[in-house]
Structure 1
Amino acid sequence: MEVLSIIISVIGLIVHLIQKADNSSYGSSSTNSYTDTTYQVIPEFTEAEKLDNMNIDSLNICYKTAGINNFSIENARRTLLNRYVQNDFYIDDIITRQNCMYIKVMHAIPYNDGNKCYGASFSINFMTVNNGVSVYGTQKTNTAEELVFKEIANELLKAVS
């Protein structure tokens, strides 16, 4: 009889331990803090918010200028978005305003490196008086960055001409 009560006690203890382990691995429904974010909607920025993030007031250094006959800001935009493929940088976003186009690019330092983890903003401005097209960017104190910006400006101007 004594052996039977010991076996029942041991089985009861094992069942109790299994229940505790089961509750701790799944947690109770009232204390579960896991949130599934797989299908959460990520809000889109408006054009005004994108321009604020580009810090367009700092685009005051002219990196390249050229005269282009029959220039159209909309044709340049389409060219950059649809057909222009560049291995050394890629265009992340373009916003147009009258005779100006703000461009967000991802690039590498040095220019032809494969890791495009740096973001930069440029503007392409069209002056109707003299058919001049200028590419503006931010001032850089680092020589390597300045060289990259000059290369990007050359490529952008070549693409839209």
Structure 2
Amino acid sequence: MEVLGTIISVIGLIVYIIQKVNQSSHGDTNTTYYTDTTYAVVHEFTPQEKLDNMNIDSLNICYKTAGITGFSIEKARLTLLNHYVEKDFYIDDVIIRQNCMYIKVRHSIPYNDGNKCYGAAFSMNFMTVNNGVSVYGSKKINADEEQVFKEIANELITAVA
């Protein structure tokens, strides 16, 4: 019985020493540790999910219309995604559905401010009957936002013309 008590005491002492060594190598147990974590993409949105998030039913206010001869919606998409560089807003995504292009934009208010923290969606519609291109956005109550939307619509038309 005495041997069993000694073995338990020795095991307890070893566990105590391991805990103290572990604590000293990691610091105090009350300290918060930060680790660098790389996040993997869990879900890639489909074009339909992106359109659902853009709330495309609210894009019913025409901000700019122009006639463009020889307009190609695919060429316009490539221009906006690959070659269009504008300091006043960024194009995040472009999705085509028949003769309509949905454009996700990151912009600032006022228009030429450096902080692009606002997101908006626009639709660019092509009417084959009259070679007309219209840019639609959502209704804005704030006059500053409405002016920004007009400026963005103007730039989008200019870029694809």
| TM-score, length-scaled by structure 2 | 0.80
Letter paired with 1:68: I
Q: Does 1:95 align with 2:112?
A: no
Q: Which residue of 1 aligns with 2:6?
A: none
Q: Does 1:47 align with 2:29?
A: no
Letter paired with 1:55: N
How far is the alpha carbon of 1:101 from its aligned partner? 0.1
The 2-side partners of 1:52 and 1:35 are apart by 35
Q: Does 1:67 align with 2:67?
A: yes
Letter paired with 2:153: A
Question: 1:8-157 counterparts in 2 under 5 A?
Answer: 16=16, 19-20=19-20, 22-23=22-23, 25=26, 37-157=37-157
* CA 1:35–1:112: 2 relative to 1, 3 Å: closer
Letter paired with 1:42: V
Structure 2 portions without partners, runs of 5+: 1-12, 28-33
- What is the root-mean-square deviation of aligned Cα atoms in Å? 2.5
| TM-score, length-scaled by structure 1 | 0.80
Q: Could you give the per-residue CA deviations for residues 50-87 of structure 1, whole angstroms, max 9, x where no partner exists? A: 00000000000000000111111001111111111000
The 2-side partners of 1:128 and 1:35 are apart by 56
The 1-side partners of 2:17 and 2:147 are apart by 67
Per the alignment, in what secondary structure is the counterpart of residue 70 of structure 1?
A: coil
Q: Could you give the per-residue CA deviations for residues 91-117 of structure 1, whole angstroms, max 9, x where no partner exists? A: 000000111000000000000000001
Query: Identity of paired residues, percent?
Result: 76
Per the alignment, in what secondary structure is the counterpart of residue 139 of structure 2?
A: coil
What is the count of residue pairs matched by the alignment?
A: 141
Letter paired with 2:88: D
How far is the alpha carbon of 1:40 from its aligned partner? 2.9
